Amino acid sequence: MELPVGVLGQVGIFLIRCLLVAFAVTGKGGKNRRRGKGDGEEAKRELEFKEEGQEYAQVVKMLGNGRCECFCFDGVTRLGHIRGKMRKKVWVTAGDIVLVGKRDFQDEKVDILHKYTADEARNLKQYGELPETARINETAVDLAMTTEDGEDDIGIDFDDI
């Protein structure tokens, strides 16, 4: 049994349209498109000061899984947890100055609430919010190499070589 040419043509056109709709590119790209162009201009934001139950800290070492070792400027080293709002949006690295929220029920853990840029950290230091001993933009390696008396001594004397 043969179909008339008109019916076969309509079925063919219908199949071609279905394939075009199924394989049409309607998306606009992935996460790189969402990020946009890197113009390099950062919007000036208002400086956040600590409130009750919060403390300034410096990230000593990244531990993975959104956790890090933080040296709070009250003199205690605590385990910091990057909050969900900041994950994959704000990159926290060793040496960064952050604002942490203390937990009422766990003194050894804190939640990282805000990351300060280097300029904001310098402003906090000028306002007296951070201690004078706070070092801005230093990594965990730099912090580990500093001795108790504040001298950078890694034990190599280049005059003897």
Count CA atoms within 13 Å of residue 112 on its CB side: 30
Statement: 54-145 belongs to CATH 3.40.640.10: no
Q: Where are the domains of the chain?
A: 54-145
| Per-residue pLDDT, 113 | 94
Give yes or no for residue 154 having a pLDDT over 90: no
Dist. CA 114–CA 118, nearest whole Å = 13
Give the list of residues 6+ apart from residue 111 with CB closer than 8 angstroms, or none. 80, 81, 83, 100, 101, 103
Mean pLDDT throughout 130-139?
77
User: DSSP string covering 90-117, please?
Assistant: S---TT-EEEEEE-SS-TTEEEEEEE--
Give the pLDDT confidence of 26-74 residue by residue, as tens digits: 667 677 777 766 666 667 888 888 999 999 999 999 998 999 999 999 9
% of the chain residues with pLDDT over 70: 71
Can you give the pLDDT at residue 151?
61
Please state, rounded to an integer, the average pLDDT across all residues of the chain.
80
DSSP class of residue 89 equals T
Residue-level pLDDT at 109: 94
pLDDT of 157 strictly over 90:
no
